[in-house]
Amino acid sequence: MQKFNQLTAIAAPMPIMNIDTDMIIPKQFLKTIKRTGLGVNLFDEMRYTPEGKEIPDFILNKEPYRKAGIIVAGANFGCGSSREHAPWALLDFGIRCIIAPSFADIFYNNCFKNGILPIAVPQSEVDKLLDDASRGDNARISIDLEKQEITGPDGGVIKFEIDPSNKKCLLEGLDDIGITFTRAANIDNFENSDKGQRPWLYA
């Protein structure tokens, strides 16, 4: 998993509450088990007409937001089904951070497992960041995970909280499998000891 330490990117304003996982990646795109290739269908029903043409008014179809690396959104982002394809699609598009007043629990945890930083800050702070994100080419926001700070284009700083274990995993690029590998020596020691006590399990 790609490490996350610092990020400076275009922030796309999406002041919509209850953006659910079916909006993020509609159900017809869930057939794949690959984590790549889903970015083109991110927010598919909001980005494209039924004929497949871009909807000009949708934020990610506008410049410079086509290259957004951050989304600033409304409360309860990622609600709905627990599909892990949602963070896969966001990451494949290029989104590394989502800032909102609140998140659905399963989506929130899935983000950390896929190298995306979800940041929950009060609505008053989100409103400031939505204003910052509306500035087009000047809509660059910086995230410093180590310091737990968001810096707007005018230099204003917003502090955010994060669980220490989630922070460590992002800083070190560790998903669930990576965490397991950090304990490989302990696992080997257990297996070697257990083979002596229960050899029939290893026959």
pLDDT of residue 34: 80
Q: How far is the C-alpha of 98 from the C-alpha of 111, rounded, in Å?
A: 9
pLDDT of residue 177: 57
Domains and CATH numbers, the chain: 6-172 (3.20.19.10), 175-203 (no CATH)
pLDDT of residue 170: 96
Q: How crowded is residue 7: how many other Cβ atoms within 10 Å of its Cβ?
A: 15
Q: How far is the C-alpha of 3 from the C-alpha of 128, rounded, in Å?
A: 27
pLDDT of residue 179: 59
Q: Are 26 and 41 in contact (CB under 8 A)?
A: yes
pLDDT of residue 138: 84
Mean residue pLDDT of the chain comes to 91
pLDDT of residue 198: 83
**pTM score:** 0.87
Residues of the chain falling short of pLDDT 50: none
